[in-house]
Amino acid sequence: MSADLGGMTVETVLGRWPFAAQFLQEKGLANVLDRPDTALDVVVDPTVLQDMAAFIAEMEAFLGSGEEPVRELTIKGGRAKDGSPEPVAELTARAGEVLCIVGPTGSGKSRLLADIEWVARGDTPTGRHVLINGEVPDNRWRGGSGMHLVAQLSQNMNFVMDLSVRDFLSLHAESRQAPEPLEKIERIATWANELAGEPFAMDTPITSLSGGQSRALMIADIAVLSASPVVLIDEIENAGIDRRQALDILIQQEKIVLMATHDPILALMGDRRVVIGGGAMTKVIAPSAGERANLVELKALDARLMELRRRLRAGEVLDQI
C-alpha cells in the first residue's frame, strides 16, 4: 500500500484519511500540510511513508469496528479449578444489560473478566471460549489494532493529566476520531454534572475535581467516547454520585456492563448475578420480585446512613437517629 500512497498528492491522502494529518503532525511534518498538490513521496521519506501506510491500515481497522456493534457476548463454560466441567455451560450478555459478578476472594472473578478481555479461545487456564455476536471474533480484539473489548472503572482510578475538562475531553475525542466531537463533549459534561450533583465548569482542571465529580466524568466519558463495548465496574463508591443513573447512562449507550460488587443495592440493580466459585460460574440468578421489592427498603436504609454521615460531617451528635 505504501507504494500507491507515495504517488498520491497530500490533498488526496488527507481527503481520504483525515486522521493522516494528525500522524504528520506527530512526526513533526506539519509543514507537509501546506503543500496539498505535492506527491507524498516527494515530501515524506520512505520509512515514514511505510509507517504512515501501517498507521492508516490500523486506523481503518480501528474505525471500521464501529460498523458492526457488539450486540452480545457469549461465554462458553470451560472447567473449574479442579478440572470438572463448569456448571454454567453458556452465558450470554446483551448490549444494555447489567451483570453482577459475585464470589469470595480467589474464586475466579478476575479470571472471568480477563477471559472476556482476552476473548478467550480455550487458551486460558479456564478453557472458556468467548464469542461476539455469536461468532468467534478475529484477532483484532487482542490488542492488534489497539482495540480493547473492555473499558474499566474502579475506585482506585484518578485523573493524572494536567488539562481542563474541556481540553481533556477534546483530546479523548480526537484520539478516538469521534464524529461530532463538540456535541459529544457537551453531552459528557452535562451528564457528568447531573450524576455528580455538584456542578463543575469546563475549565476546571481534571485533577482538581472532587471524588464524586471525577467518577461522574469517568462514567459519562466511558458511555459516550470509549471504544470498548463492555464496561467493567469494580464497585462504585456510594459517596457523591447517583449510581442508578450512572448505570442508566451506560445502558442507554448500549454498553454491556459487568460489575464486581458485594454491595446489596448495586447487586439488586443488576439484571442478573453470576455466582463464581472454585474458578467456575456456578449459577446465574435473576433477582426475584421479592428481591426487587427489598431494593426499596435497602435504599431507604442507605439514605438513612447517608444522612447520618452528613450529620457527622456537620459536627452534630448522633444521640437521636
Partner 1 sequence: MRFVTVSGPPAVGKTAVIIKTLEHIQGEGHKVGVVKFDCLATEDDVLYRKRGIPVRKGLAGALCPDHYFVSNVEECVQWGLATGLDMLVSESAGLCNRCSPHIRGVLAVCVIDNLSGTDAPRKIGPMLKAADVVVITKGDIVSQAEREVFAARVRMVNPQASILHVNGITGQGSYELGTLWSGTRETATVEGLKLRFSMPAALCSYCLGETRIGADYQLGNVRKMDLDLPTGAKTDGGPGGEP
Ligand X SMILES: Nc1ncnc2c1ncn2[C@@H]1O[C@H](COP(=O)(O)OP(=O)(O)O)[C@@H](O)[C@H]1O
Binding site residues, Mg ion, CB under 5 A: 110
Q: What is the grid cell recorded at 71?
A: 450486540
- Output the DSSP codes for 221-253: HHHHH-S-SEEEEE---STTS-HHHHHHHHHHT
Pick one of 157, 201, 202, 303: the residue that binds partner 1 (CB under 8 A): 157
Work out which of 45, 68, 82, 156 binds partner 1, going by CB under 8 A: 156
Query: Residue 306 is inside which H or E element, if any?
Result: helix 289-313
- The CA distance from 228 to 255, in Å, is 8
Task: Output 111 or 184, the one with its CB closest to ligand X.
Answer: 111
Gap between the Cα atoms of 38 and 43, Å rounded: 7
Contact code string over 228-257 relative to partner 1, x by CB under 8 A: x-----------------------------
Minimum CB separation of residue 22 from partner 1 in Å reads 7
150-186 as b/e: b if 16+ CB within 10 A: bbbbeeeeebeeebbbbbbbbebbeebbbeebeebbe
Q: Which of residues 55-84 bind ligand X (CB under 6 A)?
A: 79-81
| Minimum distance from residue 243 beta carbon to ligand X (Å) | 22
Q: Which is nearer to ligand X, 36 or 106 (CB)?
A: 106
Burial of 259 (0-12, 13-18, 19+ CB in 10 A): buried
Relative orientation angle of helices 165-176 and 181-196, to the nearest 10 degrees: 130
Q: Say whether residue 152 binds partner 1 (CB under 8 A).
A: yes
- Segment interacting with partner 1 (CB under 8 A) among 7-15, 223-231, 243-251, 281-289: 223-231
Residue 87 DSSP class: S
Q: Is 107 in the site for ligand X (CB under 6 A)?
A: yes
Cell digits of residue 231:
464496561
Query: Residue 279's binding partner, choosing from partner 1, ligand X, Mg ion, none, with beta-carbon cut-off 5 to 8 A by kind?
Result: ligand X
String of contacts with partner 1 for each residue 20-39, x by CB under 8 A: --xx--x-------------
Is residue 148 a contact point for partner 1 (CB under 8 A)?
yes
CA angle 279, 85, 115 (to 5 degrees): 45
Q: Which residues bind partner 1 (CB under 8 A)?
A: 22-23, 26, 51, 54-55, 57-58, 62, 110, 114, 117-118, 123-125, 142-146, 148, 151-154, 156-161, 168-169, 171-172, 175-176, 214, 218, 221-222, 225-228
Residues that bind ligand X (CB under 6 A): 79-81, 103, 105-111, 125-126, 279-280
